[in-house]
């Protein structure tokens, strides 16, 4: 059976799920998206992702032609018809087809796309031994140009940084903001542990407010750890005891090396491992049938 893709509430076979070449999503990266995950047939923090999608759309003056509840139901329905339990879900809303000019008033039909598919994960080995990252020369978007809080279809900065990473043999790359402070990785938020305290770049560092990031901050505080959201520099990464990344695909993954400098003792740390397990338990608990 071929996978079904939902476009504007209608299901199409994957091969027939198509968008106009005049769509401003394609012509200009004019649209927004979300990446979600389901476990055991249930979507983790669906409402949070829907909220962030509508906020991103709001921020780019794009009205999603569907109620939130309708979209949430369509996500669940698409998972169900595809008989997927542990899946990756991509929501995309484009500005729709228009003329070959920038003016969004010439577009008429925003496209609401729901793709559900199998998820490709980091190899298990990396959770055990940790990830090496490098700092990319490509900075995160200047917030006054395109606010990183918006999950827009314009992800070229992150893709260029990702290429720098993979060319250097690293699966993730650290991105700084326009002031040279640490922002985040190309598709993951970053945390460090120093003397038992957790630090992560604040929202005003120019980051996407990750849903996994928030879940991990809440978990850490629940077990009595202090979490500080602040301006961070690479110095903080280089001198940390532990470092880890959070994201929908990655969950919680240890970082053991940045720019060829070992972090701490060069092995995943105890707080990172504990939070990884606790995050798993949280996800299992929230997605139990």
Query: What are the catalytic residues?
Result: 151
Q: Residue 162, interface with ligand PXG (CB under 6 A)? A: no
In the chain, count of helices (H) and strands (E)?
8, 15
Q: Residue 247, interface with ligand PXG (CB under 6 A)? A: yes
Burial call 2-13: b when 16+ CB within 10 Å, e when fewer: ebbbbbeeebee
Q: Least Å distance between CB 103 and ligand PXG?
A: 28
Angle subtended at Cα 64 by Cα 185 and Cα 186, rounded to the nearest 5 degrees: 5
Q: Least Å distance between CB 22 and ligand PXG?
A: 26
User: Which residues from 176-215 bind ligand PXG, rule CB under 6 A?
Assistant: 184, 187-189, 208, 210-213
Q: Residue 165, interface with ligand PXG (CB under 6 A)? A: no
Distance of CA 70 to the CA centre of its chain: 23
- What residues contact residue 167 under an 8 Å CB cut-off, 6+ apart? none
Which among 24-32, 95-103, 193-201, 240-248 is the span making contact with ligand PXG, rule CB under 6 A?
240-248
User: Which residues from 87-116 bind ligand PXG, rule CB under 6 A?
Assistant: none
Strand partners, 89: 36, 116
Q: Quick one: 42 or 267, whose CB is closer to ligand PXG?
A: 42
Q: Residue 56, interface with ligand PXG (CB under 6 A)? A: no
- Alpha-carbon distance of 245 to 122, in angstroms, equals 12
- Alpha-carbon distance of 175 to 157, in angstroms, equals 9
End-to-end CA separation in angstroms for the chain: 25
Which among 6-14, 102-110, 244-252, 278-286 is the span making contact with ligand PXG, rule CB under 6 A?
244-252
Binding residue (CB under 6 A) for ligand PXG from 197, 249, 267, 282:
249
Alpha helices in 93-223 (DSSP H): 124-129, 156-167, 211-222
Which among 12-20, 21-29, 245-253, 267-275 is the span making contact with ligand PXG, rule CB under 6 A?
245-253
Q: Quick one: 6 or 212, whose CB is closer to ligand PXG?
A: 212
Q: Which two tokens stand for residue 167?
A: 């060319």
Residue 183: count other Cβ atoms within 10 Å of its Cβ: 23
Q: Quick one: 97 or 283, whose CB is closer to ligand PXG?
A: 283
Q: Least Å distance between CB 7 and ligand PXG?
A: 19
Residues forming contacts to ligand PXG in the complex (CB under 6 A) are: 35, 158, 184, 187-189, 208, 210-213, 246-249
């Amino acid at each position: 059976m071929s996978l079904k893709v939902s476009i504007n509430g209608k299901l199409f076979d994957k091969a027939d799920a198509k968008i106009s070449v005049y769509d401003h999503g394609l012509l200009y990266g004019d649209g927004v998206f979300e990446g979600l995950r389901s476990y055991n047939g249930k979507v983790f923090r669906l409402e949070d992702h829907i909220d962030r999608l509508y906020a991103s759309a709001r921020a780019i003056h794009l009205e999603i032609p569907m109620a939130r509840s309708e979209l949430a139901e369509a996500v669940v329905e698409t998972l169900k018809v595809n008989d997927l339990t542990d899946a990756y879900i991509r929501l995309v809303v484009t500005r729709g087809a228009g003329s070959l000019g920038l003016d969004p008033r010439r577009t008429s039909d925003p496209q609401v796309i729901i793709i559900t598919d199998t998820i490709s994960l980091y190899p298990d080995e990396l959770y055990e031994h940790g990830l090496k990252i490098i700092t990319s020369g490509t900075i995160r978007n200047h917030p006054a140009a395109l606010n990183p809080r918006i999950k827009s279809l314009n992800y070229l900065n992150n893709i260029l940084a990702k290429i720098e990473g993979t060319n250097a043999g690293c699966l993730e790359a650290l991105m700084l903001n326009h002031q040279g402070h640490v922002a985040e990785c190309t598709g993951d938020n970053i945390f460090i542990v120093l003397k038992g305290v957790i630090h992560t770049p604040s929202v005003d560092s120019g980051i996407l407010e990750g849903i996994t990031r928030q879940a991990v901050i809440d978990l850490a505080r629940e077990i009595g750890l202090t979490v500080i959201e602040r301006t961070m520099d690479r110095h903080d990464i280089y001198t940390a005891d532990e470092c880890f990344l959070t994201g929908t695909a990655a969950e919680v993954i240890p970082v053991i090396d940045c720019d060829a400098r070992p972090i701490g003792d060069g092995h995943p740390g105890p707080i990172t491992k504990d939070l990884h397990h606790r995050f798993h338990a949280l996800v299992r608990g929230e997605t139990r049938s």
